[in-house]
Structure 1
Amino acid sequence: MAKHSIEDVIPGMVAGRDIIGQDGALLVPRGTMLSEEHLRRMRAYGVRVADVAASDGDDTTPETDAAADRLAVAQRRCRHLLTPRFQTLDLESPFGRAVFDLAVSRAATLAVAQGLDLDAVADGPALAGLPPEQQLFAEGAVDPASLVSGDVELATLPEVYVRLLAVLEDGEKTSDADLAGIVGRDPSLTAKLLKLVNSPLFGSRTPVDSIGRAVAMAGQKELTTLVTGLAALSAFSDIAPGLYDMRMFWRHAAACAVYASLLAQTVPGVAADRVFVGGLLHDLGQLVILRKLPAAAGRALLLSRVEGLPASEAEIAVLGFDHAAVGRALMTNWNFPPALTAMVADHHAPDGQPQSRETAIVHIADILAQAWVWPAFPGPPTPGASEAAWRSLGLAETVLAEVAAAGDARIAEIESLFFGASPQPTQRRSRS
């Protein structure tokens, strides 16, 4: 047990003693695991310091006290190091405060567990990215023809999706066998679809080993959504790895998809599989920009790093439009369903209306994926949140901790499922 400043106390810590307000009111009994609501009440009643432990339990030892002290020091350092990444998010709002506190807690816990040298982190770059020289001047990164033609062609959608959509839109009844035959013509798509229906997203108790069973299990409508996402991903398998960290891109896509599906489970009337695909595809416009305007994409990435701007703001400054606008054009060109198009096109600026809750979920999931990325040092800037979109979901901030806890394992599995095994990140260790 140790005494901490209220600014260093985070959800998940346990009150070591009764926490009393300045007016003498008992705010939190001893032994209570602190939530974001507890912390807001403590601040409101003027609490400045509190005796807390890192986890539940009354018995402490010098070792546990020392561990709690190390965690508290790491939390203070992480709070300072992460603040520049969150300058666009409103940290005075309940949602922004909850997201930031969870980011600090997660980063501090991982930093202590991995022996990360936070002093060395403080001396390193503030934001992630490849060296700017490589982004701007690498061989093949600048294509003059694409810059002067004014004709930015969009990628074409793989044939399997076009055929599948045509069959489903036909007035005649389509059998599961017909759909299985179409999907089965693409071996790569077949393998990924089978992996997906065998993942925790569907919760199958027995292995699904054929496309026919996958179609029957997922249903025709859901199958179309899943194939849509998988086909779109395969259309952008040729982005030059030297221009952008594509592993980081796909890791973010997987995180956004997983967080969106977890949030959807608590919002009535929203299908988890639809927002999963919306989260997976929400940044496709970035890939179009990277492929067709690599030099401009490099300048936007550099501006984002240097100024700490969210990617969309940096793109607007350089190009006059952002990847969400390009995503809208791409999805319209591909004749994607309006709901899926909205999730991609409006994920930075949802209107907060009840009928737009799927877009609101992808908006929030995108923020969580940026805020809770690991390694957090360096990490991308966290975009601002639409309070109207958050309110439209009818969720309490306490759900965010549950989403964070449930998301890590699923993100790793989805990333591996779609994009291969994730390499272990290399981190700087503490100085001996």
Structure 2
Amino acid sequence: MGVINIQDVKPKMVLGADLYAPNGRFLLPKGTQLTGKHVRIMTIWGVPEADIDGCDREQTMGEAIAQLSPQTLEACEAHASELFSRANLGHEAMRELYQITLLRCAERTIHGLDPTRHEIDAGATKAMLNQCSGGMDDIPTAPELVQRHLSLASLPDIYYRIVEVLGDPNSTATTISDVISKDVSLSAKLLNSPFYGFPSKIDSITRAVALLGFNELAMLAHGISVIRHFQDMPITCLDMQSFWKHSVACGLLARALAGRRPGLSEERFFVAGLLHDIGRLIMLKEMPHIMGKVLLHATENNLDTWRAERDILGYDHAAVAGHLMGEWCMPVDLRNMVARHHHPDLADNVFEAGFIHLADIMTIAMDMGCSGSYRVPPLSAGAWDVLDLPQGLLVTSVRQTDRQLDEIVSMFFSGQGNER
């Protein structure tokens, strides 16, 4: 018997162990011969994997990959090998991501789509970075960089009103509803979002608070108002559409992963993933020529971008984001997740930072946008162990994010430039 992903479970297979839903509910006993109805029930309950007699996860993945034509397999293996060239493929979760990437690459190829990442070592990218790079004089510290930015730009008023509401122990659901409802654009994004997954449209902010909870909706509103601060920022060394796609995807993956653990606020993890790379935007805006050097250094020396930042600046974008979020009085746990997403083992809460760390890796591996990092970084084995997630949740979370990503990116960034 062996554990395989739910997508590979078929009728007539036999359970090798009792089957439980993610919330602990017993579903089916060991020895059950599965029917189509059983498989549908497993999908409805969000079961990511099952223990099946006579099956093995790697064997099942291998069989799917073996069905590819030699030409498709060769092209996809070349792409995946380059993408994972810095990854620790000795780790079981990283091998799983590698195989998922191979199959996604094959699906794109079969449907006539380009499966490769144009950004990796492309001549056009290097030319752009050479144009961006300049002198290295007067490199500010991370706190100095944040203060320079804050002296020139401020968050939308709605952000500070939400901070006041969250800090007032007398605030109620009606209070937060009144504050958010006064911002027409923010309300529209919150009410029209496919993010929640409810079967019918939410028709009022009061209803959204009732369904999601006071803190959850306020946290989501917080994140969206911060995005609006950055939307019109002039950035020349990065494709901003691709940056925001990466950010939203990271948020959705973090939410999907954390959502399998009872008692966690999914919206908090979504916002942390959404904002995890905002430090890089500050760096690109305030010192574009220096950051051009950093990105070129990373490209030419096959380095993770955060390592190149540390080589040249002495700090990375995650540290900048941590300082910025501190100045903006964002919750400490949110700052911790963002500031330590490359080093979850050093976080005050390894468990929470681990979700953003894993979601970021998955976003890069699945080619869901790009924030400046072109290859999959190593996975922290310690963080993976602390998360204690089933491997089958990786492909389930990717498929869930695929279904939501484009619609949510379109919804969050519609009307850009008119919402200040």
CA contact (8 A) 1:261 1:273 kept: yes
Q: Which residue of 2 aligns with 1:262?
A: 256
Distance 1:366 1:191 in 2: 28
Distance 1:223 1:269 in 2: 16
Runs of 5+ consecutive residues of structure 1 not aligned to the other structure: 1-9, 15-31, 41-49, 56-67, 422-432
1:178 and 2:175 are equivalent in the alignment: yes
Q: Which residue of 2 aligns with 1:233?
A: 227
Distance 2:358 2:179 in 1: 35
Q: Which residue of 1 aligns with 2:188?
A: 191
Mean Cα deviation higher: 81-90 or 354-363 = 354-363
Offset of residue 75 of structure 1:
2.1
Distance 1:418 1:403 in 2: 21
Amino acid paired to 2:185: S
Offset of residue 257 of structure 1:
0.8
3-state DSSP class of the match of 1:385? Answer: coil
Distance 1:128 1:35 in 2: 38
Distance 2:272 2:235 in 1: 24
Offset of residue 125 of structure 1:
6.3
3-state DSSP class of the match of 2:222? Answer: helix
Q: Which residue of 2 aligns with 1:107?
A: 105
Question: Mapping of 1:146-295 within 5 angstroms?
Answer: 151-152=144-145, 153-155=148-150, 156-172=154-170, 174-196=171-193, 199=194, 201-295=195-289
CA contact (8 A) 1:84 1:308 kept: no
- 1:19-59 per-residue CA deviation (whole Å, 9 max, x = no partner) reads xxxxxxxxxxxxx997534369xxxxxxxxx8x5679xxxx
CA contact (8 A) 2:86 2:377 kept: yes
Offset of residue 83 of structure 1:
1.4
Question: Mapping of 1:66-145 within 5 angstroms?
Answer: 68-70=67-69, 72-114=70-112, 116=114, 126-127=120-121, 131-137=125-131
Q: Is the radius of gyration larger for structure 1 or structure 2?
A: 1
Structure 1 265/354 Cα, relative in aligned 2: closer, same or farther at 3 Å?
farther
Offset of residue 272 of structure 1:
1.4
Distance 1:38 1:370 in 2: 25
Offset of residue 326 of structure 1:
0.3
Structure 1 148/275 Cα, relative in aligned 2: closer, same or farther at 3 Å?
closer
Distance 2:101 2:141 in 1: 44
Pairs aligned (count)? 363
CA contact (8 A) 2:244 2:409 kept: yes
CA contact (8 A) 1:11 1:34 kept: no
- 1:352-383 per-residue CA deviation (whole Å, 9 max, x = no partner) reads 8895322111110000000011589x981111
Amino acid paired to 1:154: H
CA contact (8 A) 1:11 1:35 kept: no
Structure 1 406/135 Cα, relative in aligned 2: closer, same or farther at 3 Å?
same
Amino acid paired to 1:222: E
Offset of residue 389 of structure 1:
0.6
Q: Which residue of 2 aligns with 1:302?
A: 296
3-state DSSP class of the match of 2:189? Answer: helix
1:312 and 2:312 are equivalent in the alignment: no
Distance 1:280 1:386 in 2: 21
Q: Pick one of 328, 345, 349 that aligns with 2:343.
A: 349
Structure 1 304/145 Cα, relative in aligned 2: closer, same or farther at 3 Å?
closer
Distance 2:369 2:323 in 1: 33
Offset of residue 241 of structure 1:
4.6
Q: Which residue of 1 aligns with 2:45?
A: none
RMSD of aligned C-alpha atoms? 3.6
Offset of residue 249 of structure 1:
0.6
Q: Which residue of 1 aligns with 2:324?
A: 330
Distance 1:179 1:205 in 2: 24
Structure 1 181/146 Cα, relative in aligned 2: closer, same or farther at 3 Å?
farther
3-state DSSP class of the match of 2:88? Answer: coil
Structure 1 171/128 Cα, relative in aligned 2: closer, same or farther at 3 Å?
farther
Amino acid paired to 2:191: L
Structure 1 148/255 Cα, relative in aligned 2: closer, same or farther at 3 Å?
closer
Structure 1 231/282 Cα, relative in aligned 2: closer, same or farther at 3 Å?
same
Structure 1 97/327 Cα, relative in aligned 2: closer, same or farther at 3 Å?
same
Distance 2:382 2:6 in 1: 25
Normalised by the length of structure 2, the TM-score is: 0.76
Structure 1 269/126 Cα, relative in aligned 2: closer, same or farther at 3 Å?
same
Q: Pick one of 46, 57, 60 that aligns with 1:36.
A: 57
Mean Cα deviation higher: 367-376 or 410-419 = 367-376
Q: Which residue of 1 aligns with 2:407?
A: 413
CA contact (8 A) 2:162 2:222 kept: no
Structure 1 226/402 Cα, relative in aligned 2: closer, same or farther at 3 Å?
same
Structure 1 374/333 Cα, relative in aligned 2: closer, same or farther at 3 Å?
closer
Amino acid paired to 1:165: V
Distance 1:317 1:144 in 2: 13
Normalised by the length of structure 1, the TM-score is: 0.74
Distance 1:305 1:103 in 2: 22
Amino acid paired to 2:178: G
Runs of 5+ consecutive residues of structure 2 not aligned to the other structure: 10-52, 416-420
Structure 1 74/191 Cα, relative in aligned 2: closer, same or farther at 3 Å?
same
Distance 2:230 2:54 in 1: 46
